[in-house]
Amino acid sequence: MKLIVKVFPEITIKSRPVRMRFIRQLAKNIRAVLRDLDPAVVVNGVWDNLELETRVSEPKLLKEMTERLSCMPGIAHFLQVDEYPLGDFDDILAKCMLHYGDALAGKIFSVRCKRAGKHPFSSMDVERYVGSQLRRQCGAAGISLKDPQIEVRIEIRDQRLFVIHSQHDSIGGYPLGSLEQTLVLMSGGFDSTVAAYQIMRRGLMSHFCFFNLGGRAHELGVMEVAHFIWKKYGSSQRVLFVSVPFEEVLGEILGKVDNSHMGVILKRMMLRAATSIADRLHIDALVTGEAISQVSSQTLPNLSVIDCVTEKLVLRPLIASHKQDIIDTANEIGTADFARHMPEYCGVISVNPKTAAKRGRVEHEEKEFDMAVLERAIENARLVPIDRVIDELGQDIQIEEVGEALAGQIIIDIRHPDDAEDDPLSVAGVEVQTMPFYAVNARFKELDPTRQYLLYCDKGVMSRLHAHHLLSEGHANVRVYRPS
């Protein structure tokens, strides 16, 4: 199979050195993302596109390739094509007949030709000749440039002819690795996940930083959604997941700070910690999911007071976004279900929060705060490569596993809905229910407590993690299903 990958249009207007650097980075990213599907994949680049060749022919693998390229920053769209040496007009007609001839009978169609290089004819010349001959020879109902039922698409590049079969859109933006690195402050909700996606789409390599305020389930949920975003949109680059234990910091705030200033001061502590971690990683910019006045700590005066604790650039890609627009984007990119089922944590809830906090008053409140508590939290932060975060979490967890399900037990398939749909689990004589891993914590309590449940996933890691959490929550009727 051959694909022509069209780069994001903004890349083509860069200076030649910058454009070539971006295109080389995109080619490198494509090879990295597709390597496990086809180690011999070939990617070559020119002015405004890349050509990709693979010998993979299995439909399932080709579908996976298409899905990965559709989520890769830097790609506007890509075309599946057949390539031929460029001949005369009759030869071009023959190649179009080969691929489109049987489909045109009784249909209204158009011919679209793009051309690059020096030729004694124009694109319009090709369209006129091929269109008139296809109509005459294939029994087509007519030609319409505005509203065709079928588009016959071809590209001519120098002495090569490409007949286009299909076009797949991607997410645009700049290739990951072509710009600077950032540290994204992640809570796992709608805002922070969409902010992370927006930054990654713009080509900025994004590490993830989570402040754990006391909830193991919340930490697990954020790890899962961060891993999902990275796997889907950023797996060409290796980044870190940073988990900062913030329970003691929260306790210090609750005990030492005036109620109305707790939210602002918590955000200041988070920025201080994120700055320290970013310094350690040589990162110059922090990213948050804040939007103007969505909550009390996100008014302009409060954001100004929060930002003054760091010299880092704080990026807020959602700053002027409406909440519904953020939710709509989360639905599009696949993080909305994570956010809806994200476990709650005990945060700071002020009775009468300040919407216009004064810097002097905030600094006065912080004088009672023991900064050694913050330093301990930073020192105890765990930095784990994002591609290993789920596996490492499950290494030391001992959960009873069974290789065979018995009648009366219920298997719960906790894989992502796409995986469960593509490869449904079926076990003779045993009921199988689907419940995505991001919904397990919220929905398990709705199940019949008198039944025995076996959690299932491909590798057994996610099922062990969730079984461990459910057991710690007091649900004794759960084990892991690992068929031999």
SS3 per-residue string spanning 146-162: CCCCEEEEEEEECCEEE
Residue among 180, 160, 214 nearest 345 (CA): 214
Q: Is 185 annotated as a binding residue?
A: yes
Would you say 233 and 201 are in contact if contact means Cβ atoms under 8 Å apart? Answer: yes
Query: Distance of CA 84 to CAs 47, 87, 94, 357, 402, Å?
Result: 20, 9, 11, 68, 55
Choosing from 71, 96, 138, 457, the catalytic residue is 457
Distance CA 441, CA 466 (A): 8
**CA 376, 379, 381 angle in degrees (round to 5)?**
110
Q: Is 298 annotated as a binding residue?
A: yes
Q: Is 267 annotated as a binding residue?
A: yes
SS3 per-residue string spanning 49-111: EEEEECCCCCHHHHHHHHHHHCCCCCEEEEEEEEEEECCCHHHHHHHHHHHHHHHCCCCEEEE
Would you say 390 and 461 are in contact if contact means Cβ atoms under 8 Å apart? Answer: yes
Q: Phi/psi of residue 18, each to 5°?
A: -70, -45
Taking phi over 0 as left and psi of -120 to 50 as alpha, with beta for the rest, 42 belongs to beta
Amino acid occupying residue 111: V
Would you say 304 and 290 are in contact if contact means Cβ atoms under 8 Å apart? Answer: no
Is 71 a known active-site residue?
Answer: no
Residues in contact with 272: Cβ distance below 8 Å, sequence separation at least 6, in sequence order: 309, 310, 374
Q: Is 455 annotated as a binding residue?
A: no
Distance CA 382, CA 387 (A): 14
Paired strand residues for 244: 211
Residues in contact with 15: Cβ distance below 8 Å, sequence separation at least 6, in sequence order: none
**Number of neighbours of residue 152 by Cβ within 10 angstroms:** 25
Task: Determine the angle formed by the axes of helices 300-307 and 262-281, rounding to 10 degrees.
Answer: 40
Q: Is 323 annotated as a binding residue?
A: no
3-state SS, residue 195: helix
Q: Phi/psi of residue 157, each to 5°?
A: -125, 110
Task: Determine the angle formed by the axes of helices 371-379 and 247-256, rounding to 10 degrees.
Answer: 170
Would you say 245 and 219 are in contact if contact means Cβ atoms under 8 Å apart? Answer: no
Annotated binding-site ranges for ATP: 185-186, 267, 289, 298
The catalytic residue positions are: 457
Annotated binding-site ranges: 185-186, 267, 289, 298
